[in-house]
Chains A and B, each alone.
Chain A
């Protein structure tokens, strides 16, 4: 049941109307070909400086992945879900909204989105290590951070359960008369859950300012898109909920920024919600729990075909095309600076120690009720008895 072929973006140029950002396009919209050659005129804002910044953020995200996998192997954290291959989608998304103004209900593979939104790296690392510097106080498994300063709501493991709350968040924004929008992200697998349909339906009926973005990396653990849904793609499902659905090459950061930025402002203008599907690929395994992905459920050839469409190579190709190539030394310096920064933050986080048992009884309710005070007193006595 999992052997059906994967959808792939066409390598041919798609003929589009004068406004390239049309909903329900048959092929993913793109601005830059795999070799870095622009296939549309680049908007003027894509200066070499901006493209270098984007490149830097994407490399930082990839190296962060590498370092966190090393931490896993060292036993300093217990879970990590890489986003390698999805950098253009997540960095591009961060550039499509007003960070700290808009609200984000992310899914569990969105650490690159968080980093690109300016969540300090040490906050992510602290959450992964469950140290006293973890803003979430060591409650959740690694890789499930949240940042109130960025309106980045704490990540939940349960698939698609963030979608109805995101609709409500957007309804509140409309009710309060703000010009904020809500960005809600999820993977392709999440679109099978009832919560996903309930959330989109609600937001559509309420004409709430919600931007729903499917980071379609084509695999929900070991289940591919063809086994997930009989739809040829995800974005066409927007039709049923009365909103536009956009289809984007998620490995082309210019395309992600152009289309998601357009959709975000369309939503912000009071037109109701929109759905964007960013077609990308998870190059690594789902998590450290299925490091044997190639052995068990997908082929090395498939992975290699997507490595050839790498989003970082693509932006490097674009920079080279524009006469501003990233040379080997610059890349090496960039990589080593990220590694040093991660190492330093890991040490800083670990130096804060692990939260003790008291954190277990905090934040269950606004006020701690008597039965929890009793249970905390029980553990205190137990701990003192062990000294």
Chain B
């Protein structure tokens, strides 16, 4: 492995060397292009990923560059896409399977939880399925409930899977490369509303972002704000608004949910004494419930206020009212103020 494990990703910034400004989706494409070129075991497939380049154009140009043997369309069947990825991975390929929207992981769910997640364990490590399932997730694009859901908690609940969700182009590329070079099945959620909205510096040199490491986006001393994926720009806006009021908020981007960076979150909460957790998935059985539990278990003595949580509501994702559904900066700010005034 020639990549540098860029610890500077703690701040999401490249330290040295040449960089370019990319959007999040360009970073995803670039990661696949470089890995296809680096390792001929890598194959990319899914519905419409070939000539069309994917519905969001994440795979645009890859079939033209690497040919239909490496980058190809599949029949419209998520069970087939995921199940075939398991078989390819067991046989030695490095499959990157695209599920067109996270909302459509349902038909592939059994293959993910029964096959991909368990083959290493049930075979005593004799067989493994290192593979990636990439999928756009989250709301904010007027997609209604079949094109806006955040199903990550279903997968964090399944041992054997790694689950990641970047919010910056730097992390999108680094996490995808780490997933491709790793030895486990990785569910790689892409916050679709940031595909083109998130722009940032991406190094020209090869690098990875290690799965399991969070990043501090903003340092602070009064409160720890933890999020991931599509909510991160709003979390940073809330922190900036509070900074204008003289409140110092530390903003943490988890980047990886399984495994997640307990040490980073706990050390921050021990410093600030307050935590507010933000995600857009429905609240019941939200992954942040696990984060809250660990904070109260291991940093209880540091807490100056109950752990706050801002989440989506426990309703299917609505079309017309999607802006009300999503936790925007005002709702995040209010939760922080509540913790500060406790």
Contacts and interface: CB of A to CB of B under 8 A. Distances in A.
A271 interface: no
Contacts of B284: 371
A196 B319 CA distance: 27
Interface string A219-239: 011110001110000000000
Nearest to A381: B334
A220 B106 CA distance: 19
A237 B314 CA distance: 41
Interface string B7-51: 000000000000000000000000000000000000000011011
A269 interface: no
A223 B52 CA distance: 9
Contacts of B314: 364, 371-372, 375
Interface residues of B, number: 42
Contacts of A190: 76
A227 B331 contact: no
A364 to B, nearest CB: 5
A138 to B, nearest CB: 3
Interface residues of A, number: 47
B5 interface: no
A360 B321 contact: yes
Contact of B324 (A144, A189, A357): A357
A174 to B, nearest CB: 27
B73 A227 contact: yes
A290 B52 CA distance: 9
B145 interface: yes
A161 B147 contact: no
B138 interface: no
Prevailing SS type, chain B contact patch: loop
A221 B47 contact: yes
A215 to B, nearest CB: 14
A156 B319 CA distance: 13
A3 to B, nearest CB: 8
Given A158-B146, A220-B76, A355-B321, A193 B315 contact: no
A157, A160, A229, A355 pick with most chain B CB within 10 angstroms = A157
A2 B73 contact: yes
Q: Which of A2, A356, A379 has the most CB of B within 10 A?
A: A2
Contacts of A265: none
A46 to B, nearest CB: 36
Contacts of B146: 140-141, 144, 156-158
Nearest to B68: A1
Contacts of B259: none
Contacts of A161: 106-107
Contacts of A375: 283, 313-315
A222 B51 contact: yes
* Residue in B77, B103, B104, B325 whose Cβ sees the most chain A Cβ within 10 Å: B77
A382 interface: yes
Contacts of A357: 321, 324
A226 B103 CA distance: 26
Given A158-B103, A189-B76, A357-B324, A139 B50 contact: no
A195 interface: yes
Interface of B: 47-48, 50-53, 55, 68, 72-80, 103-104, 106-107, 142-147, 283-284, 313-316, 318-321, 324-325, 330-331, 334
Interface of A: 1-2, 78-79, 130, 138-142, 144, 156-161, 189-190, 192-195, 220-223, 227-229, 289-290, 296-297, 354-357, 359-361, 364, 371-372, 375, 379, 382
